[in-house]
Structure 1
Amino acid sequence: MENYHDIKELFAKYLDNSIRREEYDALLRYFGKQEDDGELHRLVVEALSTNTLEYDRERLAEVVDTVQLRLREKLQPGKTTLVKLWPRIAVAAAIAVVVFGAGLFYINQKSQDKSKIAVYQKDIEPAGNKAYLTLANGKRIALDDAANGSIATQSHVQVSKTADGQLVYTSGNGSTTNLPLEYNTLETPNGGKFEIMLPDGTHVWMNAGSRLKYPVSFASLKERRIELQGEAYFQVAHNRAMPFRVSSSGQTVEVLGTHFNVNAYSEEKVVKTTLLEGSVKVKDNHSQNFKILKPGEQASLVDDKLQVSKADTEQAVAWKNGDFVFAGEDLKTVMREVSRWYDVDVEYKRNVNVNGIFSAFPRTMKLSQLLKALEANQGIHFKMEGRRVLVMP
């Protein structure tokens, strides 16, 4: 039952309650399969966008619950150690689409409650390529407004903005050895993201609400040291003679050439460093203790103590790949991430919190879509008031 049209037909039969038992089993096997290649996502989107079927909200909720249960069993067998999410992301993403589709059809076709429609009337777009560059002379440039091409020249290094939303530093022919050391700062606001190519060729992806301070040129230095607040993914250019060091929230990560992610938001209790390729040394700046990470490991800095564990690398870099991935987080942790990505304030009415959220959603969703998906699965209610989200039981 691998044919896409057959699966689509089974899904439609399930929703109108005409499916046979063997067809139902085949559909569930498809939902739980290891490889999806995006077919399931397309299936659900098309099924929910057609007007040829009159969908029943309870039936949609039932299939969501079934798939969610299968996902939980895969993620947390017997409530023991969490296993890797991918490639089961497609299943979780389908859950988001189904849940939102259920709410959308219910509002448009079933409900007459206009106040509920008003809750999501003014939608908010996801984060885009927004950042501010502060040059060594103090000049601040809004990169989303700046024209493509050359922005500035400092210490014989040209700073340019590319058409695909990337900041690139290119060394010129002049000598930088006798020039004063200059620093630039790149900031992504809440609701923004950006990429930068540092003068040594290191590629950095910056998440929303992050700040990166770095030298305009490394040529006269013995090390490549930069400072990070927030979250970034690094693809470091190899240079054995000049180590690359990232300072952030009480720790320093030292590498020669590798791929790794650092999550160091000030509002989070744990600083996480996840290694994908190569080798890194993570040092606690207070005690000078350090850990050497191997690919697939994660260092967690909690209360000035370093701990190393096996990492879910796909979850750690899901933000870079365009997804939200929640693997057992509590609601307030989830909403902090939502707040940064959509640039909204979150306010809680009464003591509202939910633990153990297992879901995945594309980061391209509008805020209302994401809130609808969370709302239907977690027993909570959201209300949008401008750029404020109210969370209620």
Structure 2
Amino acid sequence: MQNANKLDKLFQKLVDNTISEKELDRLMELINSSDPDEVKHGVLAKHWEKVNKGNLPLKKRTKDDSEVLLQKILYKIEHIDKKKKGRTFFPHSNVRFWSGIAATFLLLTGVYFYNQNTLVNSTEPIIIENDPNSGVITLQLENGDIETISETGERKITTSSGNLVASQQGNTLQYISAEAQDKLVYNTLNIPHGRQFDLVLSDGTKVKLNSGSSIKYPVRFLKGQERKVFLKGEAYFDVTRDRAHPFIVNADEMNIKVLGTQFNLSFYPEDEDISTVLVEGAVVLYKDGADISTNTSSQLAPGQRAEWNKVNNTMTIKEVDTNIFTAWKDGYLLFKASPFHSIRSKLERHFNISIEDRSGKLQDQIYTATFRNETIEEILEAFKEDTHFEYIREGSKIVILDTNINLKKMPMKTN
């Protein structure tokens, strides 16, 4: 009875958008430790009744609030199930129960989702923008369903009729090319900061996604049409050759067209440049909507890098050491004569942290270094050998201190 009262109170806080992170953790723990039938027929039934009557005070919650909460709920459900079962994906026996939990949460927070095998009525599926700080890899299906993906899990993705679309083995999600279809059906894979993931498209093209990236792609490509995908973030492409079906990657205003090649593409919204580095083969770059047959396009040769500046609307092409730009796919952080402000962005994405430089002396400092398995503290200690500074770490935030501050009064965490 005591747990039921606590559940009810925490659920009401969820509805009112006043629940804290700690209280959300407690709510999930209470649900996990309670009898499923009591949860379904008790607190959930009560709030489902509110759903049916339309008595939901959603005015306090914005769409962005709900989408962030969605990511948190999915992550917490996966974490609970991993601890309870010792597995990294939902056991079949718990899918319906946890689907019902998620559906209730998301209805109460104004987000379209699913309840067991029945889709909730909605005029259109939600589009979940990638939240790079969520810590959760998510896959959005064509109908709007959101699935969490563990890097050590296994699963099969099927159509509503039960036909196999893709399968996951650990850190790789692979789509199959089987039954023909007459329209494009898209999935979107979101990779948060601190993670990397491999994707194999239905044509055999391999895509390695870096931290903080999102890619939208057809489940199957159509015969007689170009193969087009949409990227935000950074990815390394190893494209299956098919002259009859050119492969195109869209990154904001830029399209990269290839037949069969290997290249690295980097487009983070916070960056001024869209960077394309060609390792093998040939690519043509052109602005979205431009006629590729005119002189508005540019072609790269292996060993070249094209930078499209979104602010100045200009492109520069030069010879580069491609390994500098592709080492990340092999687990390396490689910096060559790089300013600290550029390094900082990469470290933040790689370790899912934020770095604030209050020292005033590191922003334009130049470093050359290579790291692989080092922690963020070990990397900072290496940089300190070149330019001395002090820092503190508070959870996922690192503050590089102004050396004029009295350090004795502040907690210090260094190696």
Q: How many equivalent residue pairs? A: 261
- Map 1:115-126 onto structure 2 (within 5 A): none
Could you tell me which of 114, 121, 135 is aligned with 2:141?
135
Tell me the residue number matched to 2:245. Answer: 242
Tell me the residue number matched to 1:176. Answer: 181
- Residues 296-341 of structure 1: CA deviation (Å, up to 9, x unaligned): 1111111221111002101010111111111122111111110001
Given that 2:156 and 2:164 are in contact with CA atoms closer than 8 Å, whether structure 1 keeps it comes out as no
Could you tell me which of 314, 318, 331 is aligned with 1:309?
318
Give, in whole Å, the separation in 1 of the partners of 2:321 and 2:285.
18
Do the aligned partners of residues 378 and 350 (structure 1) sit closer, same or farther apart at CA in structure 2, a change above 3 Å counting? closer
Could you tell me which of 169, 173, 181 is aligned with 1:167?
173
Tell me the residue number matched to 2:214. Answer: 211
Tell me the residue number matched to 1:52. Answer: none
1:264 matches 2:267: yes
Tell me the residue number matched to 1:338. Answer: 347
Give, in whole Å, the separation in 1 of the partners of 2:145 and 2:297.
38
Deviation of 1:250 after TM superposition, in Å, equals 1.9
Do the aligned partners of residues 170 and 333 (structure 1) sit closer, same or farther apart at CA in structure 2, a change above 3 Å counting? same
Could you tell me which of 375, 388, 394 is aligned with 1:385?
394
Tell me the residue number matched to 2:80. Answer: none
Deviation of 1:286 after TM superposition, in Å, equals 7.5
1:233 matches 2:236: yes
Give, in whole Å, the separation in 1 of the partners of 2:350 and 2:136.
11
Give, in whole Å, the separation in 1 of the partners of 2:151 and 2:260.
33
Tell me the residue number matched to 2:369. Answer: 359
User: 3-state SS of the aligned residue for 1:334?
Assistant: helix
Do the aligned partners of residues 157 and 219 (structure 1) sit closer, same or farther apart at CA in structure 2, a change above 3 Å counting? farther
- Residues 145-202 of structure 1: CA deviation (Å, up to 9, x unaligned): 7841313337955211113x10000123x3313xx42110001001111000001100
- Residues 173-232 of structure 1: CA deviation (Å, up to 9, x unaligned): x3313xx42110001001111000001100000000000001111034510010000000
Tell me the residue number matched to 1:293. Answer: 300
Q: Unaligned regions of 5+ residues in structure 1, if any?
A: 1-126
- Residues 319-369 of structure 1: CA deviation (Å, up to 9, x unaligned): 11111111122111111110001111122225342332111111x222221
Tell me the residue number matched to 2:384. Answer: 375
Tell me the residue number matched to 1:348. Answer: 357
User: 3-state SS of the aligned residue for 2:350?
Assistant: helix
Identity between Structure 1 and Structure 2 (%): 30
Do the aligned partners of residues 286 and 256 (structure 1) sit closer, same or farther apart at CA in structure 2, a change above 3 Å counting? closer
Do the aligned partners of residues 281 and 238 (structure 1) sit closer, same or farther apart at CA in structure 2, a change above 3 Å counting? same
Give, in whole Å, the separation in 2 of the partners of 1:250 and 1:382.
39
Tell me the residue number matched to 1:192. Answer: 195
Tell me the residue number matched to 1:81. Answer: none
Do the aligned partners of residues 318 and 146 (structure 1) sit closer, same or farther apart at CA in structure 2, a change above 3 Å counting? closer
Do the aligned partners of residues 211 and 282 (structure 1) sit closer, same or farther apart at CA in structure 2, a change above 3 Å counting? same
Given that 1:130 and 1:193 are in contact with CA atoms closer than 8 Å, whether structure 2 keeps it comes out as no
Give, in whole Å, the separation in 1 of the partners of 2:347 and 2:169.
28
Give, in whole Å, the separation in 1 of the partners of 2:156 and 2:195.
21
TM-score normalised by length of structure 2: 0.59
Residue type at the aligned position of 1:381: E
Deviation of 1:383 after TM superposition, in Å, equals 1.7
Given that 1:131 and 1:193 are in contact with CA atoms closer than 8 Å, whether structure 2 keeps it comes out as no
Do the aligned partners of residues 367 and 350 (structure 1) sit closer, same or farther apart at CA in structure 2, a change above 3 Å counting? closer
Do the aligned partners of residues 380 and 269 (structure 1) sit closer, same or farther apart at CA in structure 2, a change above 3 Å counting? farther
Residue type at the aligned position of 2:369: S
1:158 matches 2:161: no
Give, in whole Å, the separation in 2 of the partners of 1:224 and 1:182.
12
Give, in whole Å, the separation in 2 of the partners of 1:358 and 1:350.
20
Q: CA RMSD in A?
A: 2.2
Tell me the residue number matched to 2:79. Answer: none
Do the aligned partners of residues 192 and 130 (structure 1) sit closer, same or farther apart at CA in structure 2, a change above 3 Å counting? farther
TM-score normalised by length of structure 1: 0.63
Q: Unaligned regions of 5+ residues in structure 2, if any?
A: 1-132, 403-415
Given that 2:172 and 2:197 are in contact with CA atoms closer than 8 Å, whether structure 1 keeps it comes out as yes
Give, in whole Å, the separation in 2 of the partners of 1:142 and 1:148.
12
Give, in whole Å, the separation in 1 of the partners of 2:187 and 2:160.
10
Do the aligned partners of residues 307 and 206 (structure 1) sit closer, same or farther apart at CA in structure 2, a change above 3 Å counting? same
Given that 1:327 and 1:357 are in contact with CA atoms closer than 8 Å, whether structure 2 keeps it comes out as yes
Given that 2:224 and 2:244 are in contact with CA atoms closer than 8 Å, whether structure 1 keeps it comes out as no
Residue type at the aligned position of 2:394: E
- Residues 228-282 of structure 1: CA deviation (Å, up to 9, x unaligned): 0000000000000000000003211000000000011111222110001100001
Structure number with the bigger relative contact order (C-alpha 8 A, sep ≥ 6) is: 1
Tell me the residue number matched to 2:154. Answer: 148
Tell me the residue number matched to 2:285. Answer: 282
